[in-house]
Structure 1
Amino acid sequence: MFKIAVLVSGGGTDLQSVIDAVENNYMNVKIEMVIGSRDNIYALERAKKHNIDTFVVNRREYGEESSNKILELTKGKVDLIVLAGFLAILDGEILKEFDNRIINIHPSLIPSFCGPGMYGLKVHEAVIKSGVRFSGCTVHFVNSEVDGGAILLQEVVPVYFEDDAETLQKRILEKEHEILPKAIKLISENKIRVIDGRVKIEE
């Protein structure tokens, strides 16, 4: 069976969408473990409720060795690493070991409103301030450049004049919960090819 590790930093609504997709037999995938970037986050409680093994790799404790510790936990045990609201940066050997086997979900249409410092409500605040008419979310592969890997799936949502960061975030989260499980399913079924930095989906 195709096995994944999900990395989290917060409440875990994206994680919940993956758990639900697995339990509803949307995809033939096992969540082997959930790794949190800090203690006492609700995402870890969600995992425990579903009898999923949990680990914490706290950057304060592990410092520059955080990515290596995550590699130690995942190497040989999972086929894919899923960043679901994971705010720490992965670097070093794990990017080579899991080349094109780490995906992230970002709450904008990359390459807009992304990169260092662009996460959470900051993204939506920047979107509203800019006056763009559309935003959305992106599932992409992870490489050494922040939010810079090949784009796998995107979903578009309108931005309304009356929106604030919270209302826009809520609308985009609904789409995140659709495309993150879809991306995992496509990868698990071997339907994704990365060619010259672009993704081809083989239906």
Structure 2
Amino acid sequence: MLNLGILISGRGSNMEAILKAIKRQKIPINPAIIISNNPDAMGLKIAQKMGIKTEVIASKNFDGTRWQYDQKIIKALEKHRVTPKNGLVCLAGFMRIISPEFISKYKNRIINIHPAILPSFPGLHAQKQALDYGVKFSGCTVHFVDSGVDTGPIILQEIVPVLDDDTEETLSRKILAKEHKAYVKAVRLVAEGKIKIAGRKTRNQGR
């Protein structure tokens, strides 16, 4: 069974969805540690109430390099047995760009969720980008993390319609509801060893 580490910066609603699914035995994975770069993140209290270990590795006023900071994250992950060999790292609203060295060490062991149908609208404010472009459908994408910005191999995607009266706020709410389901499903597939990567593509071996 894989050991799971989740990195958060805020409330961690996707983290909460994943942890609840694990508690219901919907995902065969061990929730080993929740790490936040923000000591005031609400997600820390949520995780603690659910009996999950937490650590804070504050990034504010950290004057080292990105890799030096990430080495602290890796040390905490390894302490809780979330290793490149038997671990999975989920980014759940983690508001830092992780270093190429971290990505290389945990190759194909870090996943993220993005509120758009990649490769469209990567980066920040994806919902606003979608509205400004005038798309009729948007959604979310769960993907492996590589050294680009939201460019890693796609695990799965979920779609929502974009209505004429949608605002950035209403679209974000619709997408977030899909995110909670998509992230849980993606973590389950990875934990069960059903996702295989072939170049830029992934294949679901469980189908």
Match of 1:144 in 2: 147
3-state SS of paired residue (2:60):
helix
Q: Which residue of 1 aligns with 2:14?
A: 14
Match of 2:108 in 1: 100
Normalized against structure 1, the TM-score is what? 0.93
Alignment of 1:80 with 2:83, yes or no, is: no
Q: Retained in 2: the 8 A contact 1:68–1:93?
A: no
SS at match of 2:10: coil
Identity %: 37
Letter of the 1:101 partner, please give it.
R
In 1, Cα distance between the equivalents of 2:61 and 2:119? 32
TM-score by length of 2: 0.91
Q: Is the contact between residue 110 and residue 138 of structure 1 (CA under 8 Å) also seen in structure 2?
A: yes
Give 1:61 shift: 4.3
Query: What does residue range 151-190 of structure 1 map to in structure 2 within 5 Å?
Result: 151-190=154-193
Give the C-alpha shift of residue 92 in structure 1. Answer: 3.5
Contact kept, 8 Å, 1:138 with 1:154, in 2: the verdict is yes
C-alpha separation in 2, matches of 1:33 and 1:27: 16
SS in 2 for 1:148: coil
> What does 1:8-47 correspond to in 2, within 5 Å?
8-47=8-47
Q: Which runs of 5+ in 2 are unaligned?
A: none
Deviations 1:72-131 (A, max 9, x none): 11137121000011110111432122100000001111111113xx1xxx2212211111
Aligned mates of 1:55, 1:35 — CA distance in 2 = 5
CA distance in structure 1 between the aligned counterparts of 2:96 and 2:4, rounded to whole angstroms:
18
How many angstroms apart in 1 are the aligned matches of 2:72 and 2:61? 11
- Mean alpha-carbon deviation: is it higher for 63-72 or for 161-170? 63-72
Deviation of 1:68 after TM superposition, in Å, equals: 1.3
Deviation at 1:51, TM superposition (A): 1.6
Aligned length: 198
Q: Match for 1:191: what amino acid?
A: K
The answer for the alignment partner of 1:200 in structure 2 is 203
Secondary structure at 1:60 match in 2: coil
Contact 1:82 1:103 in 2 (8 A): yes
Match of 2:129 in 1: 126
* TM-aligned CA deviation for residue 32 of structure 1: 0.4
- CA–CA separation in structure 1 for the residues paired with 2:153 and 2:100: 18
Note the aligned Cα RMSD (angstroms): 1.3
